[in-house]
Structure 1
Amino acid sequence: MSLKVNGKAYDWGDVDVKFPGLALVVQEISYDDEMEMEESYGYGHRPRGYGTGNYKSSGKISLLRDDYEEFLAWCRAQGVPFYKLTIPSIVVSYANEGEKTHMDELKTVKLTKRSHKAAQGDKGLTVDIDMMIVGGIVTDGLEPA
């Protein structure tokens, strides 16, 4: 692994978000995952090991209101209510010019919450959509657990 000094870091212009069958323009995307872990104790005050629990992943996207309306129209055309929709895969890719493209795949995504906001002075209205990522987050082909 090489360390770049004074090189270009990834920025929003290097990110591409793809939904299957949709041409949505996403204003923001965030996602995270976690593996439950807990120390195991026996005699004394120090852990003698650890145990693992469940894996969990979730995320959020932000859309401009017009893109959100287009998304709802697409749901209507598919005959699927918003919260019944299952998105098989969302691919987030990023790369600097001339370098390898890296991809995160959010597998089997369910939509769990919509947040609408409008405030005085806003230059655009956005809708935030929370997601449950049932199939996990695969980074550059590496499964999470």
Structure 2
Amino acid sequence: MPQAKRIVNKFGSMSGWNSITANMLGRDLEGITALKYSDEKKKENAYGGGEFPVGRGSGNYEAQCSITLYKEEIDALQQALPPGGRIQDIAPFDILVEYETSSGMILKDRIRNAEFTNRGVDVKNADGTISTEYTLIISHIEWNVL
């Protein structure tokens, strides 16, 4: 009977929510419950004679970002604005996301030129907290910056 292969813990301790710090507008966010960002570049095969592609074309780059914040975090941001100001009117800003590894190394991504596109509240009976997902328009993402 063959002997079972040994499973190797190749990556050690894995990064999780507790290893992430997001800094926006000069301060580390504390009232954050979710952060989502991604980018893509459109690519497509170009066909000519025969059944296989003869080349490849590429389109525009596109990046997306959303952040979920507690109402208290948004209220603190709102307090920094003039009376009647809207978070959608804040000038473009960067978000620095840091991931601390178990070895103490810090990996960083930079979300560039972010602006809020929405503001709202979603609360219902029995909610112990109020958090809302905000969509951000961004120009691009710099992955693994120094």
User: Matched residues in 2 for 1:73 and 1:87: separation?
Assistant: 18
Which deviates the most, 98-107 or 18-27?
18-27
| TM-score between both structures, scaled by the size of structure 2 | 0.83
Gap runs ≥5 in structure 2: 1-7
Which deviates the most, 5-14 or 25-34?
5-14
Identity of aligned residues (%): 22
Determine the structure 1 residue equivalent to 2:4.
none
How do 1:6-85 residues align onto structure 2 when only pairs under 5 Å count? Answer: 7-25=12-30, 26-76=32-82, 81-85=86-90
Q: Deviations over 1:22-72 (max 9, x none)?
A: 453222111111101111111122211111110011111111111111111
Larger Rg: 2
Letter in 2 for 1:122: D
- The answer to whether the Cα contact below 8 Å between 2:65 and 2:136 also exists between their aligned partners in 1 is yes
- The answer to whether the Cα contact below 8 Å between 2:22 and 2:28 also exists between their aligned partners in 1 is no
Determine the structure 2 residue equivalent to 1:140.
144
Partner SS, residue 14 of structure 2 = coil
Change in CA separation of 1:11 and 1:38 when aligned onto 2, cut-off 3 Å? same
Letter in 2 for 1:139: W
Give the C-alpha shift of residue 130 in structure 1: 0.3
- The answer to whether the Cα contact below 8 Å between 2:13 and 2:102 also exists between their aligned partners in 1 is no
| TM-score between both structures, scaled by the size of structure 1 | 0.83
Gap runs ≥5 in structure 1: none
Change in CA separation of 1:21 and 1:38 when aligned onto 2, cut-off 3 Å? same
User: Matched residues in 1 for 2:132 and 2:143: separation?
Assistant: 26
User: Matched residues in 1 for 2:38 and 2:11: separation?
Assistant: 28
User: Matched residues in 1 for 2:33 and 2:124: separation?
Assistant: 17
User: Matched residues in 1 for 2:15 and 2:64: separation?
Assistant: 22
Q: CA RMSD in A?
A: 2.3
Q: Deviations over 1:95-136 (max 9, x none)?
A: 1243310001001111112342112222211121101111x1
Aligned pairs, number: 138
User: Matched residues in 2 for 1:140 and 1:64: separation?
Assistant: 27
Letter in 1 for 2:90: L
Q: Is 2:135 the partner of 1:130?
A: yes
